[in-house]
Amino acid sequence: MKLKNISDKILKSLNIKDFKYIELPSIIETNHIVQRSGEDFRKFIFSFYSQDGKELCLRPDLTIASCLQYLDKKIKKKAKLFYKGQAYRKNLKFNESIIKNQIGFEIIGSKSEKKDDKEILDTALKSLSNFKYSSGTMTIGNVEIFNLFINKLDIPERWKLRLSRHFWRKKYFNELLKRLETNSDIDQNIVEVDKKKFSQMLRENQNNVVAERSIDEILKRFEYKINDPRKVSKGKKVSRLIKKFLKIKCPIGDAAKKLNHFFKINKINLFVDQSYFPISKNFISKIKIEFSTSLGRELEYYTGLVFTISIIYGKKNFNIINGGRYDNLIRNLGSKKKVPAVGAAINI
């Protein structure tokens, strides 16, 4: 079947499900992408400057373009949206296309989060009927569970924030774990010098400003660090625990059981009910449904559910659909309040 016919059938099915079609801009401000994904992401985007000096880029991601439009139109109620178009992103592998043809669908502004998560997953699975494939796998993860786990660990608060903030940056996250294990980011000689400086600053005018911060602010932060120490032995133990957690992978029907066993034997005060997951069946048609704690390490903006679907066509494995929940994205793009959002993109 030609790709256009597949695309038309999917778009028609979304229309029937009360999703409203919208057109997305091809060009967006670069800072919207870089602020979400970091400066390192610049190497993947096609950017240029407008005549007024504003940095723009071809959209590397349809979700951000959709959320920007939701924000710009000042929509205040629930919206079920779908769209199609191309995302432009440079690849590290020369044999991969820089253009991705996609169909996206989202539910924004609804407080029925679990119901919406299930609808997005069901819609994604039903769209597979338009493709010829022998088998496939849907892998489901949840960033919220990871953050809850991190917040229960016996490490300084600043480390909890670091690990949660950089979960999606896999390489840097692993570097953080090494630092946690070895205290390689702490030079004891510098600490002693800082303590002497701390004593000197206590005798100075607390309202004086140094490097754009008041002395009072600097002293409070340093005192917090002194009272929140990190021992090497504790760091090694926590790092091993995080690595074990990120290796949990099982059929979705066993997800709660596996997680709760891990929490119990490691004395983590957490409990997850199986109803927390929008799907509990291990197989749906030809699709195997799995759970993985490490999923969600590609994009910064996921906050809860995250999933990916791969199918076998011929002898090759194709990543066909990706999606998840991103409740903070619209607020980070400029909204004054948090706006719940969940969606997915089909790679045609």
Mean pLDDT of 195-212: 75
pLDDT at 229 exceeding the cut of 60: no
Q: Which residue has the higher pLDDT, 160 or 94?
A: 160
- pLDDT at residue 208, as a whole number: 80
User: Residue 266 pLDDT more than 90?
Assistant: yes
The tens digit of pLDDT for each residue in 79-118 reads 999 999 999 988 766 677 889 899 999 999 999 999 999 9
Lowest-confidence region among 67-76, 181-190, 234-243: 181-190
CA 192 to chain CA centroid, nearest Å: 38
pLDDT tens-digit map of 32-74: 888 766 677 788 899 999 999 999 999 998 999 999 999 988 8
* CA dist., res. 341 & res. 206, Å (int): 44
At residue 183, the pLDDT reads 63
CA proximity to 96, closest of 104, 105, 87, 83 = 87
Q: Who wins on pLDDT, 197 or 164?
A: 164
Residue 195 pLDDT greater than 70, yes or no: no
Q: What integer pLDDT is reported at residue 227 of this predicted model? A: 52
Query: Cβ–Cβ contacts within 10 Å for residue 279, how many?
Result: 19
Q: Following DSSP, what letter does each residue of 98-140 receive, concatenated?
A: SEEEEEEEEEES-S-HHHHHHHHHHHHHHHGGGS--SEEEEEE
pLDDT value of position 225: 60
Contact by Cβ (8 Å): 104, 344: yes
Residue-averaged pLDDT of the chain: 88
Average pLDDT over residues 322-344: 92
Residue 332's Cβ-side half-sphere holds a number of Cα atoms within 13 Å equal to 18
Distance separating alpha carbons of residues 94 and 83, to the nearest angstrom: 28
pLDDT at 86: 94
Query: What confidence category does residue 231 fall into, taking pLDDT thresholds of 50, 70 and 90?
Result: low
Q: Which long-range contacts (CB under 8 A, 24 or more apart) does 101-104 make?
A: 101/3, 101/7, 101/347, 101/348, 102/62, 102/345, 102/346, 102/347, 102/348, 103/7, 103/10, 103/11, 103/14, 103/345, 103/346, 103/348, 104/62, 104/63, 104/66, 104/343, 104/344, 104/345, 104/346
Percent of the chain with pLDDT over 70: 89
Q: Is the pLDDT of residue 182 over 90?
A: no
Report all structural domains of the chain as residue ranges with CATH numbers, in order of start: 1-133+336-348 (3.30.930.10), 171-239 (no CATH)
Is the Cβ–Cβ distance between 180 and 190 less than 8 Å? no
Would you say residue 186 has pLDDT above 60? no
Residue type, 217: E
Task: Return the higher-pLDDT residue of 337 and 16.
Answer: 337
Residue 337, both tokens = 């309040």
Q: Please give the Cα distance from 251 to 281 (Å, whole number).
A: 8
Which residues have CB under 8 Å from 123's CB, separation 6+?
Answer: 14, 17, 105, 344
Alpha carbon distance 82, 7 (integer Å): 12
Pull the structure tokens for residue 167. 């979960």
Which range is least confidently modeled, 97-101, 107-111, 149-153, 280-284? 97-101
Report pLDDT for 158.
85
- At 28, the pLDDT band (50, 70, 90 cuts) reads very high
**For residue 215, what pLDDT is reported?**
78
CA gap 65, 28 in Å, rounded: 7
Q: What is the pLDDT of residue 223?
A: 66
Amino acid symbol at 91:
N
Do residues 164 and 150 make contact, with C-beta atoms less than 8 angstroms apart? yes
